Amino acid sequence: MLLKLLVLLAPAIFAEDLTQRQLKPVKGVPHSRLHLYQISTTDTFRCLDGSQTILFSQLNDDYCDCKDGSDEPGTSACGNAFFYCSNVGHKGNFIPTNRVNDKLCDCCDGSDEYDSGVNCPNICDELGRAARIEREKVANVARKGFQKRQELAKEGQALRDSKLKDVEPLRQERGALEPDRARLEGEKNAAEEVEKKLQDEHRNQWEAIRNEKKKLRAADWFDELDLDKNGKIDREELRQNSFLDDDHDGFVNEDEVKAYLNVDEADLEHFQSLMYDRLKSARHQHREEARFKEEEEKERAKALENAPDDDDLLAEEDRHDGEESDSESVTSPESEDEDKMPEYPAEVQQASEKAREARRLFDEVNMKVQDLDSKIRDAENFANFDYGEDSSWAALKDKCFDRNVQQYTYQFCPFGQNTQKDTGAYSGTSLGSFKEWSGGEGMKKYSKMHFGDGQQCWNGPKRSTDITIECGEESELVEVTEPAKCEYHFTFRTPLACSDPDVEIVHEEL
């Protein structure tokens, strides 16, 4: 019976012994890769890059045989290999093999200095405890943040649902207004057409009369300027008008006359088309200057009346010194306001009033329609925008977060615009507006934001901001840097970046 039992157990015992022999620990190799270092039936080892096969006894013999260094994971022979620290009680990690037996303790369990003569204390338990405490702190923050995120997700989803719910009633309200809007627009256009027709007729009649009067006034003035009555005005006749004395030297010289008469003499047609308006403008300017001078003289005289007696003689002399004689004797045309159109007649005013009322009624309805269009557009944009997988980021729309750094206040507005301003100032410099989630694929997508097209930097690019988003119990802007000219980096902590730590711990353990 015993013999029979041994016979039955022999294969299992043999297999277990073989497995243990094959998975015998190899210095510098993690357990997950020991299967790559099994002893073959020929006692050989094939380099992991497949480049060659060596004797199994050449593993960790302090001589580099494989190009990829895979035969020397436990010695410093190969410069391109890595040694695995088991670090039981803490966390395993790889170090370059050139640190093996270099008399410096790199692994917390001291396994890298197995043959250097250095006694490295095993501090893995101590480091592990500290790491676990830190992980628990981080997990607690994540746990609280995740709870808040769930609340914000409900808030964001409620906002999104509310926006979507509002769209249909808004569309129905807009649809009900559209017939009135179309009718009122037609009435407005018809009333404006009548108004324009009557106004144009009145304006054309007035312009025809004005032009005719202008020709008559020009002819009268031409006749007065034509001193020898030969039907033409020459430069000598024009020189008799003191308002052409542009340099105010008391004489009208040849150049001043040529500025208005560039031919030897001008007939009535030439005067009306090329000279009348310019001469009229010059005369008007001359009169304005004279009026201003007269007002100054009145002010001066008023001041002299109040002057002390001892100054009367001197003041009187000054007054006489300031007097000038004006020998202008040319009679000017009667003053007229040629550019002012008379009031519209009653018929035109009535048409304008009807058009005004039609515009008011249309604008009233049209503004309501435009307001509804804006609300519908905003609601649809809000509902269709990517506010994260669970819509939690919708809760932060239209909110901003500040951080003071030296003399500046930086403001981060998710989905809006970032700014930099002097602390206490009202306005600032744009550091860009929201462009995209930039964290990559999957859930990492929501770990970064990019803001671009900010204010142009002097002799540089437009300002931009990249946002790194981290898990935190509260939403706050925690760091601002400028790693490159006009390229800013913000670190923003928020519950919206927190995931369920308990799920992550289970996943890591698996």
pLDDT digits 0-9 by tens, 289-324: 888 888 888 888 877 776 655 555 444 444 444 444
**Percentage of the chain lying above the pLDDT 90 cut:** 56
The distance in angstroms from the start CA to the end CA of the chain is 43
pLDDT (0 to 100) of residue 49: 93
Left if phi > 0, otherwise alpha if psi is -120 to 50, otherwise beta: which for 333? beta
Is the dihedral angle over the CA atoms 415, 417, 421, 427 positive or is it negative?
A: negative
Q: Judging by beta carbons within 10 Å of its beta carbon (0-12, 13-18, 19+), is residue 191 exposed, middle or buried?
A: buried
What letter does residue 311 receive in the DSSP assignment? G
Helix (H) or strand (E) holding 435: strand 429-437
pTM above 0.85, yes or no: no
Q: Looking at 99-103, 175-179, 209-213, 378-382, which range is the least confident one?
A: 209-213
CB contact set of 235 (below 8 Å; sequence gap of 6+)? 254, 257, 258, 261, 264, 265
Cα 170 to Cα 168: distance, rounded to the nearest angstrom: 5
- Average pLDDT, integer, range 243-259: 82
Cα 203 to Cα 114: distance, rounded to the nearest angstrom: 108
Q: Which two tokens stand for residue 456?
A: 């142009």
Cα 239 to Cα 427: distance, rounded to the nearest angstrom: 61
In degrees, rounded to 5, the angle at the alpha carbon of residue 148 between the alpha carbons of residues 417 and 433 is: 10
pLDDT per residue as tens digits for the range 11-59: 444 444 444 445 678 999 999 999 999 888 889 999 999 999 999 999 9
| 451 in Cβ contact with 435 (< 8 Å) | yes
Residue type, 371: D
pLDDT (0 to 100) of residue 19: 45
What letter does residue 274 receive in the DSSP assignment? I
- Residue 505 phi, psi (nearest 5): -65, -45
The architecture in CATH of the region 398-509 reads Distorted Sandwich (2.70)
Q: Is the pLDDT of residue 482 over 90?
A: yes
Cα 476 to Cα 348: distance, rounded to the nearest angstrom: 65
Neighbours of 136 (CB within 10 A): 13
Q: How confident is the model at residue 253 (pLDDT cuts 50, 70, 90)?
A: confident
Domain positions in the chain are 24-122, 398-509
pLDDT per residue as tens digits for the range 440-474: 988 899 999 999 999 999 988 999 999 999 999 99
Smallest Cα–Cα separation from 60: which of 68, 69, 52, 51? Answer: 69
pLDDT per residue as tens digits for the range 115-154: 999 999 999 999 999 999 998 988 899 999 999 999 999 9
Q: How confident is the model at residue 89 (pLDDT cuts 50, 70, 90)?
A: very high
Q: Is the pLDDT of residue 256 over 90?
A: no
Residue type, 403: R
What letter does residue 462 receive in the DSSP assignment? B
CB contact set of 387 (below 8 Å; sequence gap of 6+)? 156, 160, 393, 394, 397
Residue type, 32: S
Give Cα separations from 234 to 244, 249, 258, 280 (angstroms): 14, 22, 10, 17
What letter does residue 507 receive in the DSSP assignment? H
Average pLDDT over the chain reads 86
Q: How far is CA 367 from the centre of its chain?
A: 29
- Residue 95 phi, psi (nearest 5): -130, 155
- Residue 393 phi, psi (nearest 5): -70, -15
- Average pLDDT, integer, range 270-293: 86
pLDDT per residue as tens digits for the range 61-81: 999 999 999 999 999 999 999
pLDDT per residue as tens digits for the range 346-398: 999 999 999 999 999 999 999 999 999 999 999 999 989 999 989 999 999 99
pLDDT (0 to 100) of residue 307: 62
Smallest Cα–Cα separation from 457: which of 500, 501, 497, 488? Answer: 488
Q: Is the pLDDT of residue 330 over 50?
A: no
User: Does 274 or 404 have the greater pLDDT score?
Assistant: 404
Q: Which two tokens stand for residue 179?
A: 């017939």
**Percentage of the chain lying above the pLDDT 70 cut:** 87
| 280 in Cβ contact with 265 (< 8 Å) | no
Q: Which two tokens stand for residue 172?
A: 């129905």
Cα 397 to Cα 387: distance, rounded to the nearest angstrom: 9
Q: How confident is the model at residue 4 (pLDDT cuts 50, 70, 90)?
A: very low
Hey, is 235 helix, strand or coil?
A: helix
